[in-house]
């Protein structure tokens, strides 16, 4: 669904990214991250669930690329795998994935206020074929410039997710909103994600009909960069993924 991966060997994969997945001159960051995750999963047998990921968007990704993986360490309960996407001889994306076997704990604590969830949409729209939002469904316009609010939140789902692991789906959909700092923009301007840190909050993410509620809020913007907190909630109002992202601003 996301792209066709062909394995040269267990640790090197060739991928052709269709232009409908582009955002400007590069592939959509959620797609690139999901491809890197899928390559990591293919590189090792019997991995435990994904716990966290650190992702650096180092350069543009387009056309035919290679994904290379390397096992950094594997113990009884955890495995660290590095995954890199190469555009030619250049590393364009670098990820470190941490897979951890869940265990019982005496500590159970949640401090995450729930947002006001609008109803799951019955009427949706998608973007044009030349932009990655063509592969998404959402209820209405995703961004209004000049709103004065550094927060974006809305339901999103992939138009096609059959056969996709829920972790790859979350990684792809989790970056689907525009950077929330754009709510402060008075005019269009370029932005670019630089780093993304993800923590998975469950080892069994599920939701109704593919709908995930995405919530992103900028807490700092200065000197050409912003920092935003991001949360993905399932249809039952449970937080399934927490993230923080650094975004470059050209305004």
Is residue 161, in this structure, part of any structural domain at all?
yes
Digit-by-digit pLDDT tens for the chain (251 residues) are 354 555 556 799 999 999 999 998 899 999 999 999 999 999 999 999 999 999 999 999 999 999 999 999 999 999 999 999 999 889 999 999 999 998 888 888 888 899 999 999 999 999 999 999 999 999 987 877 778 889 999 999 999 988 889 999 999 999 999 999 999 998 888 999 999 999 999 999 999 999 999 999 999 999 999 999 999 999 999 999 999 999 999 98
Contact indicator for 123, 139 with CB cutoff of 8 Å: yes
Look at residue 53 and tell me if it is in a domain.
yes
* Residue at 210 is within a domain: yes
Q: Is 118 part of a structural domain of the chain?
A: no
The CATH number that applies at residue 174 is 2.40.160.210
pLDDT at res. 3: 45
Q: How many domains does the chain have?
A: 1
Residue 117 resides in a domain: no
Which structural domain range is residue 197 located in?
A: 4-101+124-250
Give CA–CA dist 228/215, Å, rounded.
10
In whole angstroms, how far apart are CA 181 and each of 38, 185, 241? 30, 7, 20
Query: 136 and 121 in contact (C-beta within 8 Å)?
Result: no
Q: Is residue 78 part of a domain?
A: yes
Task: Tell me if 113 is assigned to some domain.
Answer: no
* H or E stretch at 42: helix 29-43
Examine residue 154 and state whether it is found in any structural domain, yes or no: yes
* CB-based contact 166:205 (threshold 8 Å): yes
- Cα–Cα dist 107/109, whole Å: 6
């Amino acid at each position: 669904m996301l792209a066709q991966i062909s394995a040269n060997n267990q640790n090197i994969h060739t991928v052709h990214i269709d232009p409908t997945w582009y955002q400007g001159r590069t592939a959509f960051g959620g797609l690139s991250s999901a491809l890197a995750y899928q390559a990591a999963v293919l590189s090792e047998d019997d991995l435990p669930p994904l716990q966290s990921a650190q992702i650096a968007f180092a350069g543009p990704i387009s056309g035919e690329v290679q994904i290379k993986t390397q096992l950094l360490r594997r113990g009884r309960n955890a495995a660290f795998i590095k995954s890199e996407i190469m555009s030619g001889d250049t590393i364009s994306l670098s990820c470190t994935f941490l897979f951890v076997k869940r265990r019982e704990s005496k500590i159970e604590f949640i401090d995450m206020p729930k947002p006001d969830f609008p109803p799951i949409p019955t009427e949706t729209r998608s973007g044009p074929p030349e932009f990655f939002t063509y592969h998404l469904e959402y209820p209405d316009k995703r961004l209004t410039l000049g709103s004065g609010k550094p927060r974006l939140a809305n339901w999103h789902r992939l138009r096609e997710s059959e056969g996709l692991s829920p972790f790859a789906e979350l990684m792809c959909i989790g970056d689907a909103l525009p950077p929330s700092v754009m709510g402060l923009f008075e005019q269009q301007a370029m932005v670019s994600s630089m780093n993304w840190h993800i923590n998975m909050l469950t080892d069994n993410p599920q939701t109704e009909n593919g709908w995930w509620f995405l919530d992103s809020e900028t807490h700092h913007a200065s000197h050409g960069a912003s920092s935003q907190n991001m949360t993905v909630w399932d249809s039952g109002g449970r937080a399934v993924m927490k993230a923080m992202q650094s975004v470059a601003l050209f305004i």
